[in-house]
Amino acid sequence: MELKSFIATTLGEIQEGVQIAINQTIANGVNGAINPSWGGTRDMNTSLIQNVQFDIAVTASDEDKAGVKGGIKVVGISIGGEDTTSTTTSKVSRIQFSIPVIPPVTTISE
């Protein structure tokens, strides 16, 4: 998986997962709130920002195979086979970074 796809998928699934949890909590009439915000979305501020920390092993590869581009890929294990001949040179590196996000909120009226 390409690094950009991994980051986009991960952040999207976190946001969707939080929203699903909020919706289920409300639908089930559970007391309490997930990521509460007093006053609604117009009152969002920096206190709601959370950092999603990434610590990823990536590989930069240069593959000599027709139709395949080199690039930065998230390291993973692949099971299966492909009947092709190729030569690959790769270097594995570790990168760490964080992305600030405001996850979905449960609006609490004052």
Phi/psi of residue 53, nearest 5 degrees: -90, 130
Q: How far is it, in rounded angstroms, from Cα 90 to Cα 105?
A: 42
24-78 confidence digits (pLDDT tens)? 999 999 988 998 888 766 777 788 899 999 999 888 766 655 555 656 667 654 4
Separation between Cα atoms, residue 71 and residue 67, nearest integer Å: 13
Residue type, 70: G
Half-sphere exposure of 36 (CA within 13 A, CB side): 8
Structure tokens at 60: 């930069």
| Total-model pTM | 0.68
> What is the residue extent of each domain of the chain?
3-76+87-108
Lowest mean pLDDT among 1-10, 18-27, 48-57, 76-85: 76-85
- Of 104, 63, 55, nearest to 87 by C-alpha is 63
Q: Write the pLDDT tens digit of every residue in 84-110.
A: 555 667 788 899 999 999 999 888 876
Q: CA end-to-end span of the chain, whole Å?
A: 45
